[in-house]
Amino acid sequence: MSKKIIVSGKRKKAVARATVEEGNGKVRFNGQPISNISSEFIRLKIQEPLFFAEDTAPKLNIDVEVKGGGIVSQADAARLAIAKGLVAYNPKLKKTFLDYDRTLLVADVRQREPRKPNTGGHARAKTQKSYR
């Protein structure tokens, strides 16, 4: 019986759920093969944990579903979920990931600052006032 691991990752408003199970190395992002992602930067960002798990990743099928946020936030959330799934499957990878980049396993909890009423378009923008 194959073991099925479900993990999640968050970044800003993006939430990714990754399902990791034994298979033949297929990685899918929102139901599409990862090779269909047009931006090379985004594709490499999502695949980053797979490069460090070259012995484990080819034996696993990883399916990532992401909702909310922007493109880069979704990529960061997917990257976090994939790395957590790989560590849950093979705990020996934890030290490798933490030594390379801590954000592979630890979420970046910073959120967008809400804009304030009557201050203009941005969170800290104020309307100009004139004294003369």
Task: Give the whole-number percent of the chain exceeding pLDDT 70.
Answer: 98
Span 20-38, mean pLDDT? 90
pLDDT tier at 119 (50, 70, 90 boundaries)?
confident
pLDDT of residue 15: 95
Contact 7, 88 (CB under 8 A): yes
User: What distances in angstroms separate CA 21 from CA 46, 99, 112, one per listed residue?
Assistant: 18, 25, 34
Q: What is the pLDDT of residues 41-53, one digit of tens each?
A: 999 999 999 988 8
Domains of the chain as residue ranges with CATH: 4-104 (3.30.230.10)
pLDDT of residue 2: 67
Of 81, 86, 95, the residue nearest 56 (C-alpha): 86
Q: What is the pLDDT of residues 83-116, one digit of tens each?
A: 999 999 988 888 888 889 888 888 888 988 898 8
